[in-house]
Structure 1
């Protein structure tokens, strides 16, 4: 945390370089952007670069020895793709990688290592995996282990059920585009338990590649006293049939955050209710294009929604590990809030849940002017300076739609101070 204090004292001086983080694109929201799709949606977007008109310039160079002109350029590609920006892994993170290589090559810096607080990669920060989740996925991946007495019976039961729903009883086969049927059933039952009996239909469940297909979401990470998670779906149900039967709603969950921290498995689900049949058909069509989400990630997601029950042998260990992670995150949330509020020029609201802090930073006018000279948002300039001078990699709030005239950065609480 002393690195933030160092930067606070230096605010308004120095320079940096970078680009603004900004909006991304999701499965349901707004205009999409793909890599090579046709009109308005692909990298090439519009006329095919393989038309005779596109080939004409290249043909002129045949036999001349001159280099062939590139068909795909920044000017000819789909502008929607060119406009996509992802702050979490944008220019600041690229610069952080460069600095790490510079440190490895012996270049002297004011710090010895880069602290990556830009993303909540739990296991990379030392969080231990949940044993039961790894056991089930291991059994699904290598079924010969089902005969191994070292694995608990409840893990084997879940693994066998998942494998029986897979083609050829193998995790290496494609699943249905919407996901493995028994896992979607488990997701629906989980949602009903979570929401106190509010009905959930497996046909409304879509297993996803993490939650990044839609939104990041947290259902277990609630730390503040007298606070608990309330789903929008449950609230709609309590508002009555007029809302519950008509309001379109998409909700998400994943294996990446919470007590699991299994970011690499890319497991998640999306529940969509009250969607127009024609729109639902379009959604299914888009899902079909990707074939299916990773089946190993689907298996991991099944453990999240179908954990050990109190009467099962793995329950006690599972609860100990889960509570240890959540208690650790709660302690870090409190510590993060307290320490940020000790740094001049930083103000941090109480952290009630989630994995991230979004402290507000008060940037001096001179620094704002300097940022403009480099065509940067002020908080991007701040974050780049923070990285260059202290080695801390965070994400500017301008990549998340902050209130106009205010500046923030996002800090992953799982990171080390």
Structure 2
């Protein structure tokens, strides 16, 4: 039986990094079943990444992006109120069937308290979906820190479900993890690249990068949490003749750090503070000898997925999820969160011969979008049985 057309409200105030790329994957599925509106910041509708990732949808009649937030981290009450407002009015005359919060970790803390009163009284209650980007999917029994993060989030999700303000919760898992999850359903981050390391020399020529040095790359949104000073120190510890390439939009504090470097250190850093479209970002990643990820968030990384797809080894620290993934697939090395350990790992991957030990099935944007929405190819909701 054909499904009634229903609209989708996607809430994503944060335009940094590849947030809009994830929106594009979800919206690309949702538009087959009705119009889609993305609620973002006033600044977000002017950001170049909107056109890069969502331009093909913006050119259609089925998708629109609306700036309604002043801040990339709006209060949960505002998220709930504005979502409910769109449910009351509908999208292009079509009733709203689902609301998707693409970065739900912080709102989850209070959603159970503020959302029910906003959703109460709606003629048609939407199916509310949360995407968690910082939910530890798999944990060792001894990982007390991980359990302290996971337990409260799962509990809050159940409370929100019992109050009829939440219907589906999805969280990232490692790309080697094909389990389904129970309370929080698991989805693998898409990994694909339009460039490959076998053409690294060509990309370095196009991008103005040195051919005769080891290229260590930090890409995408370049901010303090990516720990560029630690990586530069690790390059020293490695003893390699290497340059650190920072390419992508710089967050506050990065340029100030660059300006504070001694001339000798500054000469070893290639800085490109600019928005990178997807193909350019892929070429930067594929041009590197190694991509280090010194991040303390215990989740997968979009840049890591690009590196894996491009055949570039990864050095990861600060995440059990990423460590498990590189160990299972042979796509890099996990190490301790110190300059000496990271430097030794960089030297290992540059001088070593890495062979993928587990082939990763490609996670397509469409598969990612359907899993987040919890719909089949006809747009009908489903709930998979956990394994």
Tell me whether the two structures share a fold, i.e. TM-score over 0.5.
Answer: no
Higher strand share: 2
Query: Which structure has the greater CA radius of gyration?
Result: 1
Shorter-chain TM band = under 0.3
